[in-house]
A = this chain, B = another copy of it.
Amino acid sequence: MSSIGITAPAGFSAAALTAGIKPSGNPDMALVVNEGPEFHAAAVFTRNRVVASPVKLSRVAIADGQIKAVLYNSGNANACNGVQGDQDAAELQQQVADLLGIAPTDVGVCSTGLIGEVLPMGKMRAGVDNLSTSLGDNGEAAAEAIMTTDLVKKETVVNAEGWTLGGMGKGVGMMSPSLATMLVCLTTDASATPAMLDEAVRAASHVTFDTLDIDGSTSTNDTVFLLASGASGITPTQDELNAAVLQASEDIARQMQADAEGVTKRVTVTVEGTSTDEQAVNAARTLARDNLFKCAMFGSDPNWGRVLAAVGMAEADMDPDHISVYFNGEAVCVNTTGTPGARDVDLSGADIEVLVNLGIDGPGRATVRTTDLSHDYVEINSAYSS
C-alpha cells in the first residue's frame, strides 16, 4: 500500500491511464475499486440544478449505501449532452460492472472537463478494458488522471488508531457555493455503516469544500465519494470517523485553494459579530466573491473600504456604524471608520487573513477561503474551451 492517497487504506486498488480524451495527451481516466470485505459508501453532490449525466447515475448508485468501484475521467464533463450523455455514462458503468463482476448500481461514475462535448466512447471503452486489468497500488496515478487545469495533484492521508483514511481531489476553478468544482474520492479501511459515512462526509464538506469559494461559480459535476472497505477490522466511533474525514477534507480543500486558477494570494475571510453562523457564512461569502475586493488583494492594496461596501450588502445582521476590519491581525477599520496607518498595512505576502466584525453581540462566526482575482485567472478562463 502507498503511504498517501486513495490506495493507502487496506482494501483499495486503483488504475489510471491515458485514453486520449484530453488533447494534451495527459492521463485522463482512472478506476478506484473497493475490494472489501465491506462496500459501504456515502457521497455528496453539486447543488446545481443542471447536473451532468454521471452525477445522475451516481446519485442512484449511492442510494443503497453501497459502492464497489468508481470510474473517473477528466477532459470531458459529459454534461448537457442530453440522452446521449445519459446513455454513454450508463454504458461505461455497465462495462465496469461486467469486467469486475459486480452490479452496475455498485459503480459510481465521475467526469470533469468541458461541458457540452459528447464523450469519445471508442477511446473510453478501450480505456475501461485496460483499467480493469491494471488495478494495483496506483493511487498517485489516479490522482494525476483526474486533473484538469490543476497544476499539481492533490492527495491526503490520515493515520488513525489501527485504520487509515486516504483521499484524492481535483479542482481549481468554478468553486462555490455548495461544493467547490471538484471531484474528491476518500477511502478508508475502517468499518463503518453507510449512515456513519454519510454523517461524516456531510459534516466535513459543510465546513471545507462548501466554504471554499474561488469564483462564486458552481459546477455541474461536483462529487465527493467516501468509500469504506472495513479491511482494518476496526470500527471507529462516529466522532473518530468525523475527525478523520474532516482532517482529510481540510487538507484537500487547502490544496485546492493553493492551486486555484491564477492564484497569487490565498485569502482567508472570517466574519464574526453577527447573529448566526449561517449569517456569518453569507457575509464571508459575499466578501469572498466581490471582484473589487479580490482585485485589491491581487494588488496587495489594503483598500478596506471595499470590504465595508461588500459586507454592507450581505444578508446578515450587522450594526452599520460599528463594523471593524482587520488585515493580517491589524485593525484597519474600527466602528466603520479607518484607523491611522490603515493604508500602510503590508499585504505583500501570499497569505492574507481578513477578519470582519459586524458589530452585533451574537455568536455567529464563519470562515471562507478564497483567492485574489488576477490577470492569470482572466487569461486561463477566457481561453479554456478554445
Known: A115-B305, A337-B81. A50 touches B215 (CB 8 A): no
B218 & A80 in contact (Cβ 8 Å cutoff): no
Question: Counting CB contacts under 8 A, is A65 at the interface?
Answer: no
**B51 near A216 (CB under 8 angstroms)?**
no
A290 contacts partner chain B, Cβ-Cβ < 8 Å: yes
Q: Which of A5-13, A19-27, A91-99, A378-386 contacts B (4 or more CB under 8 A)?
A: A378-386
- Rounded to whole Å, the gap between the CB of A29 and the closest CB of chain B is 21
Shortest CB distance A21–B (Å): 16
Given contacts A47-B313, A382-B296, contact A308 B79 (CB under 8 A): yes
Pair A116/B220 contact, Cβ less than 8 Å = no
Inter-subunit contact A48/B312 (CB<8 Å): yes
Closest to A301 in B: B386
Hey, which chain B residues are within 8 Å of A220, CB to CB? 305, 308-309, 312
Partner of A386, one of B114, B177, B289, B299: B299
Give the contacting residue for A343; candidates B50, B306, B337, B385; CB below 8 A. Answer: B385
In the assembled complex, the Cα of A85 lies from the Cα of B333 at a distance in Å of 14
Residues of B within 8 A of A289 (CB): 216
B378 and A312 contacting across the interface, CB-CB below 8 Å: no
| Closest Cβ–Cβ distance, residue A256 to chain B (whole Å) | 16
A36, B279: Cα distance in complex, Å: 48
Binds B, one of A102-110, A245-253, A369-377: A369-377
**Chain B nearest CB, measured from A168 CB (Å):** 23
A116–B48 CB distance below 8 A: no
Q: Is the CB of A336 within 8 A of B378?
A: no
A-B contacts besides A116-B337, A299-B386, A377-B378, 19 pairs, CB < 8 Å? A79-B309, A80-B333, A80-B337, A114-B303, A115-B303, A115-B309, A116-B338, A173-B292, A217-B306, A217-B309, A217-B310, A218-B313, A219-B309, A295-B382, A296-B385, A299-B381, A303-B386, A375-B378, A375-B379
